């Protein structure tokens, strides 16, 4: 069976102090899904647990992201997290801290 994409949501998350990339990524996922309400389950004869979700996270330090913590932001479906180079880090004036900005794409697919 092939996967067919039904939903694409985008979000942005920020960690203002401490360079917490996981926190910024979690906020980006939360931002992406916060305004979503999916109503196609009955029409497609699928359940929430049938969803195959891919999270694409972009931050300047991909290795600093805890993928399991980010995946836990989604209450349903089977979640895969891909962390890539991207996002933005804005250093403070002194250079000892930075604002970390993460981008997220939430892709919801079903097996067809």
The structural domains of the chain, ordered by start, are 3-35+48-111 (3.30.1330.20)
Q: Angle 107-79-58 (CA atoms, 0-180°, nearest 5)?
A: 60
| pLDDT tens digits for range 19-62 | 999 999 999 999 999 988 888 898 889 999 999 999 999 999 99
Model pLDDT, residue 86: 98
Average pLDDT over the chain, rounded to an integer: 95
For residues 5-27, average pLDDT: 97
| Cα 109 from chain centre | 15
Rg (CA), the chain: 15
């Amino acid at each position: 069976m092939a996967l067919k994409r039904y939903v694409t949501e985008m979000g942005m998350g920020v960690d203002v102090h401490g360079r917490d990339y996981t926190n910024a990524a979690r906020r980006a996922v939360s931002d992406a899904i916060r305004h979503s309400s999916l109503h196609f389950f009955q029409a497609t004869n699928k359940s929430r647990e049938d969803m195959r979700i891919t999270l694409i996270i972009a931050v300047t330090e991909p290795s600093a992201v805890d993928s399991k913590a980010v995946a836990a932001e989604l209450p349903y479906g089977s979640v895969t997290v891909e962390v890539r180079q991207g996002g933005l880090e804005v250093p403070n004036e002194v250079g000892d801290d930075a604002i970390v900005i993460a981008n997220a794409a939430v892709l919801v697919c079903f097996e067809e």
